[in-house]
Structure formats: structure tokens, C-alpha cells
Amino acid sequence: MSSSEGKTLAYSMLGLAAGVYFFFKGFVWFREQKLIEGLPTAKVRSIAMGLTELAGKAMPGAELLKGPFTGKDCVYYRCKVEEYRSSGKHRRWVKVKEEASAKRFYLEDNTGKVLVDPNGAEVDIPSDFTSQPGRAGPNQLIKAFMTANQVSYKGFFGNKTMRFTEWHIAPRDSLFVVGTAMDNPERDEAASVKGHEDVMVGKGSSWFFIADSSEKKVLDGLRQKAWLGMLGGAALILVCLFIIFSTLRIL
């Protein structure tokens, strides 16, 4: 086998692995889509124990966070630092630091509030801040974050080419939540909130999902990803298998 055939075989094996991953991931997305379709959106006042679906606004709990790059109040954030690197003809963004933090908050609808513990949730929200500083360098908040995490933005010939992205859930953001309603461990705090039941929504044994989109948009996104994953993954598997068998002269 020549070196070019070896490379073709290696890339085909990687493609095959990717195809298998996306094929089965498509079924996961399809199952999540069907799960949401089968759950009625509950009101806080009538929430029942177990897997539930809610929609409302995020309201601060006992503590708030500050977005590390924006300084804005939030109940959840995720931030990522990337560096643009070159290796021969290949250029790509490489993640050098990622961090997430969450605090319990209330989800409020027109019937009351319920405590939500976002830790462990799959959070699907668009980025709220992206910066790719030039010669001036990053802002002071980003510099403080970089220093605290011992990550340098300076290179041999000036500042490195870097990208900083932040996602956050701010107070009063509209949210769609699928999670497990369970006994609230903070009953004393909960009792002081008008309309609040002695329940907390968090990660149980089932899927836990938080998005700042409507149920319809979430379903549309899952439906699209499910079909792309299953059909695209299957197509990639077939193409890569054909290339592998052809390279090995099995066909």
C-alpha cells in the first residue's frame, strides 16, 4: 500500500467514525424531540413531581454571577478562550480555556415561581458576547480573567490572535426548561416567595435541558438536527466504507 493510499485509508476511517457518531446522535436528537412533543407545558402552580416542561422568565435567586467578559449580572454563564494557530498549511481556532458557572434561580410564569438548579443541564443559548481584539488587546475584564487563569494573550511579536466568547442567562430572560421536579431542599427560602411550591426543578434521572427559545424553535432545531444526523451520518458511513473497501481492494 502506497503512502497516499495509507492517508486515504486513515481519513476514511476517521470519516467512518464521525458518520457512526452522527448517525446515533441523530437518534438521540429524535428521542429528545419526541420527549418534548409528548410533554405538556405545565404552569408553576400545577407542577407535578417527575419530568416536567416549563416556560417563563429567569428571576434571581439568593446569588448572582457576573459574566467574566461582560461584567453583566447573570444566573449562568459559559465562556471560552480560543487562539488562532497555524501549522504548515493548516490554520484553525484552538480552545485554550473554557469555564462555566451556574447559580440557582427562579423560573416565573403568571402563576408563581419555582426554584431551578441549572447545574448539569444541557444549555442551548446563543452567544451574548464575542470579541477578537486587535493590537489594542482585550478589555480589562478579559485581561483579569486571563491573569487569574494564567493564560497569556501576548506573543513574541505583539498580541496573539485570540477570540473570546461568552454565553449567559440574565435576569428576566425568557426560558424553556425540561427537567425533573423534585423536593425543594430550600423550603424555608421557598416559603417566603409568593406562589412558590415546595419543589425544585433540576437534573434527575432524565434529560435536563434549558433554552432561551420557544418550544416551537427548540422542536424545529431538534427535528432538523435529527434528520441531518441520521441521513448525513448514514451517507458518510456508506461513502467511507466504499473508499475503505476500494483502497483495500475488497470490492
**pLDDT, one tens digit for every residue, the chain (251 residues):** 567 777 888 888 999 999 999 999 999 999 999 999 999 999 999 898 999 999 999 999 889 999 999 999 999 999 999 998 887 778 899 999 999 999 999 999 999 999 999 999 999 999 999 998 877 778 899 999 999 998 887 776 667 888 999 999 999 999 999 999 998 876 655 454 544 558 899 998 889 999 998 999 999 999 999 999 999 999 999 999 998 888 787 65
Q: How many CB atoms lie within 10 A of CB 102?
A: 20
Q: What is the pLDDT of residues 190-228, one digit of tens each?
A: 454 544 558 899 998 889 999 998 999 999 999 999 999
Distance CA 70, CA 167 (A): 10
Contact 65, 76 (CB under 8 A): yes
Average pLDDT score, the chain: 88
* b/e burial code for range 16-37 (CB count within 10 A of at least 16 → b): beebeebbebbeebbebbebbe
Distance CA 235, CA 231 (A): 6
- pTM to 2 decimal places: 0.82
Nearest to 110, CA basis, from 39, 49, 174: 174
pLDDT of the residue at 194: 46
